[in-house]
Structure 1
Amino acid sequence: MILSPFQTFITIIMLMLGTMCTRFLPFIFFRADRATPQYVQRLSRVLPYAVIGLLVVYCLKGVSFTSSPFGLPEFISILIIAVLHVWKKNTLLSIFAGTASYMLLIQFIF
């Protein structure tokens, strides 16, 4: 699909407005002179864990536990991530090590 210059301009403007709204609206709705609502505080505590859980489920949705390699690369990588995170408490290290271990496992072992 090829867009005309006008359609391209309109698309860029709409993307810019959408980005600006997501950046500016929190500062408009949640001013510094007022207390943050309780539901927003609860979401800020709960949502990161929910997102991580959702990502784990999404990543494991295509794993077949009934055929070879029976989900072993995924299980080993998740175990490495959990051990590293409990031991070092470094999210970036856990993510990098888990990704690297998974890629090495599926490329060279399984």
Structure 2
Amino acid sequence: MTEGYYLAAFIAVTALATFATRVVPFLFFERHTDHPLIKHLGRFLPAAVMALLATVFLQRSGNWGAGAFGLDALIPGLLVVAVHLWRGNALLSIATGTIAYMAIQQTGMMVAGA
């Protein structure tokens, strides 16, 4: 087989696996939406996932050894929280934080000694 066939097979298997992970919950849990466990997960899981993502972001993205001690990640993170509390719009909050983080990274504003 040539490289093209491997690539096509990889894309097909990946697409099938992605589709399966999206459709399985609807097939198996359609009749169980009133179950207390499903309601509990629906209420608390999104916040837990966001907290985990924020923790990983702060650990991986922040320049903790610089003179600004991680402000390059803390400022956009706090901006996301502030905008979300102010407007209640997740898309606006994430976009604002992403723009702020990329602006800091691209301009080098929080580099050691700056």
TM-score (norm 1): 0.73
Q: What are the Cα deviations for residues 43-98 of structure 1, in whole angstroms up to 9, with x where unaligned?
A: 11111111111111111113343432211122221222122111111111111111
RMSD: 2.5
Higher CA-based Rg: 1
Structure-2 separation of matches of 1:13 and 1:100: 34
Deviates more, 1:11-20 or 1:97-106: 11-20
The amino acid across from 1:106 in the alignment is Q
Structure 1: 5+ residue stretches without partners:
none
Match of 2:43 among 39, 42, 45: 45
Taking CA–CA contacts closer than 8 Å with sequence separation of 6 or more, which of the two structures ends up with the larger relative contact order? 2
Contact 1:30 1:36 in 2 (8 A): no
Written as runs of structure 1 = structure 2, the 5 A alignment for 1:44-63 is 44-62=42-60, 63=62
Aligned residues: 107
Written as runs of structure 1 = structure 2, the 5 A alignment for 1:1-110 is 3=3, 5=5, 11=10, 14-32=13-31, 36-62=34-60, 63-108=62-107, 109-110=109-110
Contact 1:82 1:94 in 2 (8 A): yes
**Identical aligned pairs, as a percentage?**
33
Q: Which runs of 4+ in 1 moved over 6 A?
A: none
Matched residue SS, 2:68: coil
CA spacing shift, 1:83–1:13, aligned 2, 3 Å = closer
CA spacing shift, 1:99–1:37, aligned 2, 3 Å = same
Structure 2: 5+ residue stretches without partners:
none
Structure-2 separation of matches of 1:11 and 1:3: 11
TM-score (norm 2): 0.71
